[in-house]
A = this chain, B = another copy of it.
Amino acid sequence: MPKPILTLTLNPSVDISYPLNHLELDTVNRVSTTRKTAGGKGLNVARVIAQLGQKVAGSGFLGGDLGNFIAKKLSGDNIENWFMQISGETRNCIAILHDDGKQTEILESGPEITATEADDFLDHLEKYLDQIDLMTISGSLPKGLPTDFYSQLIELADRHGVQTLLDSSGEPLLKSLTSLRRPYLIKPNQDEIAQIAGQKIDDLDQLKKILLENPLLSSIPWVVVSLGKDGAMAKAGMDLFYAKIPKIDAVNPVGSGDSTVAGLAYALNRKADVDEVLKTAMTTGILNTLNAKTGCIDASLFENYYSQIVIEKIN
């Protein structure tokens, strides 16, 4: 039986969504239905992995009463709680859904992590690393942490033989590509690839060339670039693949990238071959877009979509 997968969410949130026919500014708006969920990209990853029937744990920082709220939600979602308590208070993120499809969001920055808490987290995490083979890291860094904090986590995991899947952007992503110990997989979008390569990307041929030749990318075993409705291009080792997906009627695309990471983690944790890994990831990505709830899939539809994915080797 495969070991549990660990997903990291360093800056989780209690997400609140307010459906309003009309948002009236400068006055009082009353809402009678409110949804409060455990949010953060890594928690989406964890939920989808749990829905695939795989043991999964979540870690990161939780604080205060909103931290307790998330802890309770984890157990309801079959996610083991490996979070560390901090002195700050876990944040809220607000989404107001109003006026025929408008989505106005207010994102709190969240608590600042102290230097002591950052150090403690490395020790905290190390206790769990011998129980797992694979760990995902998703999202942005909370305030107070150095931009190479993900690199520190990846290095620690590597020393324990744990592979890391990193889905981040900006400085933390760039730092991880230039460290001595690197992530096993990254999932940049086309903008992030352009930033890494330092050049615009106009077509798939250019993307192909960058994936094969850019030294920052060629040193990473797995690079998966989502192309939205056009599927994905992936580098596994020195081989390039194109994953073609069927046409789908998306209900809610939010969290689809996280769900793709969940599929990648699930298949890689089972030592699946390249074909299976890519097909699994495309399928979980699709299943998320078919679901109204972010970071949720209906696993009973898995086989149906899995069989429709076509993987081509393109180098």
Binding site for B on A (CB under 8 A): 16, 18, 20, 23-32, 34, 36, 64-66, 68-69, 72, 89, 91-92, 94, 96, 102-109
**With A66-B65, A69-B64 known to touch, is A109 a contact of B30 (CB < 8 Å)?**
yes
CB distance from A253 to the nearest CB of B (A): 16
Contact B27 A104 (CB under 8 A): yes
Tell me, in angstroms, the Cα distance from A105 to B23 when the chains sit together.
10
CB distance from A104 to the nearest CB of B (A): 5
**Among the interface residues A26, A89, A102, which one has the most CB atoms of the partner chain B within 10 A?**
A26
- Mostly, the A contact residues are strand
**Among the interface residues A20, A31, A103, which one has the most CB atoms of the partner chain B within 10 A?**
A31
Tell me, in angstroms, the Cα distance from A72 to B65 when the chains sit together.
10
**With A64-B69, A65-B69 known to touch, is A107 a contact of B26 (CB < 8 Å)?**
no
Tell me, in angstroms, the Cα distance from A23 to B107 when the chains sit together.
12
Partner of A104, one of B29, B30, B34, B69: B29
CB distance from A173 to the nearest CB of B (A): 19
Partner of A65, one of B16, B68, B94, B109: B68
CB distance from A95 to the nearest CB of B (A): 9
**With A16-B92, A92-B16, A94-B94 known to touch, is A27 a contact of B105 (CB < 8 Å)?**
yes
**With A30-B109, A92-B16, A109-B30 known to touch, is A104 a contact of B68 (CB < 8 Å)?**
no
Contact B104 A23 (CB under 8 A): yes
8 tightest A-B CB contacts, nearest first: A65-B65, A65-B69, A26-B102, A28-B105, A32-B109, A65-B68, A25-B104, A29-B106
User: Which B residues are CB-close (under 8 A) to A36?
Assistant: 89
Contact B31 A107 (CB under 8 A): yes
Tell me, in angstroms, the Cα distance from A24 to B32 when the chains sit together.
24
Which residue on B lies nearest to A66, using beta carbons? B65
Tell me, in angstroms, the Cα distance from A253 to B263 when the chains sit together.
54
Tell me, in angstroms, the Cα distance from A89 to B120 when the chains sit together.
33
Contact A109 B31 (CB under 8 A): yes
CB distance from A131 to the nearest CB of B (A): 29
Contact A107 B34 (CB under 8 A): no
